[in-house]
Homo-oligomer: A and B are copies of this chain.
């Protein structure tokens, strides 16, 4: 994965993926004590940045392979991103989901045109099922983050930041990034190193699920103790990827850990000041910018909002922090 792949992905994505704006609010600047800009990938097709990686990977397949179809393991944003990107390419998409996934996620993924195959987490082996499907139908697996063309797609966000910040006269900044397996973070970091070398990528994770930050400190990949039990479920992964980790080691600044309460409060501020709907995992980078000002070094922080797929109950919890 390198800058040439990101630029090639940007060329393929042009006109199909939304170039999201940089938003700001004087009220948020006041809280953060500096100028902050927000890159709202919740406004991306399917409500998260995952559409970029999905589009990039599917558009990079040779036409014959693509026509056979793709598959993914996911019950979340990656599933929707792959389903919609495959549909746009008129390619079949099969999404393997645990049978206990929320009905709304299954329905949404189907509505976006994918075939959903359910499996029983207790009795069935997901990987074996995937391998069988792949062999029988010639489907290509699109991994959620540890896949070069997926990383290249997420990296296009970094190109857009470099371009739009330059228009605003900004060249130096910390770029605060919601971090799961590191696909988004390593893609953006690679793009910034090329197009905005005075910006630094800063991974942000929720407390208790800070595998990337601990791995960066340890100098080797370490895993989370658990992968369930966080409201920031959209960005929880077992451990950083084998491709993403060395990139983050080389290019990222120190990570920042935020609490779940800070993520909920950041969601409430995004509601009130930006008019954006943000999911808990998508709010951690903004939470870092607002509530951990001492962790940043530059006068400007650019915070990525990674997604907005949140239900009314969880959103109401965030709104309750305003009272």
| A-to-B contact residues, CB < 8 Å | 18, 21, 23, 26-27, 30, 40, 42-43, 47, 84, 111-112, 268, 271, 274-278, 308, 312, 315-316, 319-320, 322-323
Contact = CB atoms under 8 A, between A and B. Distances in A.
Given A316-B316, A316-B319, A43 B275 contact: yes
A111 B276 contact: no
One complex includes copies of this chain to the number of: 2
Contact of A323 (B23, B111, B274, B312): B312
A264 B274 CA distance: 20
Contacts of A84: 26
B323 A319 contact: no
A185 to B, nearest CB: 22
Nearest to A30: B111
Contacts of A316: 316, 319
A322 B30 CA distance: 34
Contact of A112 (B26, B40, B268, B274): B26
A142 to B, nearest CB: 20
Contacts of A30: 111
A278 B277 CA distance: 10
